[in-house]
Amino acid sequence: MPPTRTAVRARSSRNRQTVRSFLDDTGSAWEVTLGKESWGTLVLLFTPASGGDARTSILAAETMFDASAELDALDDEALRERLRDSRPWT
């Protein structure tokens, strides 16, 4: 059974991962942090600030260090593009 979004957020806080906020194409606020799928693939984990369903986008990185660098390199427009191309988190 996959962890709940609450568990993912708590885990992110303990690991001191970066959480970034940005606005999507419609002006809605989103947060993005790093996540890991059950099979180990690293992803961007998008959550709407107002609540709702999370979305993911697969990263090329193979380590959390590289994933963090990949996230840091994305500006807000790149995050909006990744959100547009994301899939629902299941």
* Model pLDDT for residues 61-80, shown as the tens digit of each residue: 999 999 999 999 999 999 99
pLDDT at residue number 39: 85
Q: What is the pTM of this model?
A: 0.79
- Cβ 79 vs Cβ 33: under 8 Å: no
State which residues of the chain have pLDDT below 50: 1-15
pLDDT at residue number 45: 97
Q: How far is CA 42 from CA 2, 7, 33, in A?
A: 15, 17, 11
> Please, is 48 exposed, middle or buried when counting C-beta atoms within 10 Å of its C-beta (0-12, 13-18, 19+)?
middle
